Amino acid sequence: MKNIKLLLLLISTCFYVYPCLAQNNQNDHYIIGQTLHGGTINIAIDQNGSKNSERILRASDVYNAGIAYYYGKGVKQDYNVAVKCFQISAEMGMVPSQLALAVCYMHGRGVTKNDSLAFSMVQKSATLGFSQSICMLGCCYLEGTGTQKDTAQAAMCFKKAADDYKLPAAMAFLGRCYLYGIGVSKDEAVGLRYLRASAREDEGYAMYYLGCYYLERPVLEGYYKKALKYFHKGADLKNGRSINKLGECYLNGWGVTQDKTMAFNLFNSAADQNDGDAFVNTGNCYFRGDGTSVDYNKAVKWYKKSAENGVTMGIYKLGFCYENGLGTEANLDKAIELYKKAADNKSEEAREALKRLGK
């Protein structure tokens, strides 16, 4: 890799420390004298950048630098550099880096999107007993990412990560499976037990699922209040789905006084956390003028972003804009293409649009 020296310099002087995914210290390998792409991983740069003390690069240093570049924490966001960091640390034996690389391939960030390769990477790291990978493997089976959709297999992965490794995220996903009978026999009591155990560990997804559980039962006394409590807790944990759902509560006046400006601001905050539904909701606000001025160009921008993330409603909305020339030049062929894609994802709105157009 011709930019290896520059990359190592960036890593060695980047001392922003992001919480490592690794839960066990055995993943924290010290590399002495090993070579990588022809370069010895042994550098002589201290924290201040002066070349007066030898520093041996650890796999976790490279991994943490990759996380920093991936999220833009303390440095300018750069997916390409993040991928290079993950590749290097993966070759150094850092199991979480394999999972991080898989996520990059899933989203096409810094690399060409490749769900099949991503799935194989997740599967490989899961066999090494890394709980985050076992949980991610469950997500792949649940969504059919890089493999055939298999909800029963998904639930098994979540259960292993939840019961054997006590992973809070897995507890949350498993709790949802039991609540709605996804891959397991429906058992609301068991589902709530897992979700509450996960929530006690401050897992954002548990807050979101619990909030949704209570929001779906507003006729029961105090349930709106409970839903809002969990959405606020999830929002405090920077969980994008919780922030987005809180925005929907303010938009529709669910348990709160309707406030479209507050809703718009919350959708923007959720979008900052890369929540796909928030991309659509932000676009809707610009499209309808909810909490902001009508701006079809900005609406299209957000619909495109949601479509790129595979959000069905965003794909449909983008098709509607192309059909009617709103925020973009009218293009019926493009609209039909998008409607068909959304219809394949079971969008009734898209199916009705195709029927209306005789397609």
Give pLDDT tens digits for 160-219. 999 999 999 999 999 999 999 999 999 999 999 999 999 999 999 999 999 999 999 877
The residue among 74, 134, 129, 124 whose CA lies nearest residue 101 is: 124
The residue among 138, 134, 70 whose CA lies nearest residue 100 is: 70
Q: Give the pLDDT band (50/70/90) at residue 24.
A: very low
CB 285 within 8 A of CB 322: no
Contacts of 236 (CB under 8 A, 6+ apart): none
The mean pLDDT value for 66-94 works out to 89
Q: Give the pLDDT band (50/70/90) at residue 58.
A: confident
The predicted pLDDT at position 139 comes to 96
Helices (H), 92-150: 95-107, 115-127, 131-143
Q: What's the CA gap between 216 and 289, in Å, rounded?
A: 27
Q: pLDDT per residue over 290-300, tens digit each?
A: 999 999 999 99
| The two structure tokens encoding residue 147 | 């493999």
Contacts of 233 (CB under 8 A, 6+ apart): 199, 207, 242
- Give 124 or 54, the one with higher predicted confidence: 124
Q: Give the pLDDT band (50/70/90) at residue 57.
A: low
The predicted pLDDT at position 1 comes to 35
Displacement of CA 206 from its chain's centroid (Å): 15
pLDDT at 72 over 90: no
pLDDT at 53 over 80: no
Q: Which long-range contacts (CB under 8 A, 24 or more apart) does 77-82 make?
A: 79/104, 79/109, 79/110, 80/110, 81/7, 81/10, 81/110, 82/109, 82/110
The predicted pLDDT at position 110 comes to 95
The predicted pLDDT at position 359 comes to 84
Q: Cβ–Cβ contacts within 10 Å for residue 73, how many?
A: 13
The mean pLDDT value for 128-140 works out to 95
Q: Give the pLDDT band (50/70/90) at residue 39.
A: very low
Q: Give the pLDDT band (50/70/90) at residue 220.
A: confident
> Mean pLDDT of all residues in the chain?
85
Q: What's the CA gap between 5 and 321, in Å, rounded?
A: 47
pLDDT at 105 over 50: yes
Q: List domains and CATH numbers for the chain.
A: 1-112 (1.25.40)
- CA-derived radius of gyration, the chain: 23
The answer for 289, left when phi > 0, alpha when psi is -120 to 50, beta otherwise, is left
The mean pLDDT value for 17-42 works out to 30
The predicted pLDDT at position 4 comes to 31
The mean pLDDT value for 322-337 works out to 97
The predicted pLDDT at position 326 comes to 97
Q: Which long-range contacts (CB under 8 A, 24 or more apart) does 332-335 make?
A: 332/357
55: DSSP letter: B
Residues pairing with 30 in the sheet:
58
Q: pLDDT per residue over 274-292, tens digit each?
A: 899 999 999 999 999 999 9
- Give 341 or 14, the one with higher predicted confidence: 341
The mean pLDDT value for 21-30 works out to 31
Helix then strand count (H, E) for the chain reads 18, 2
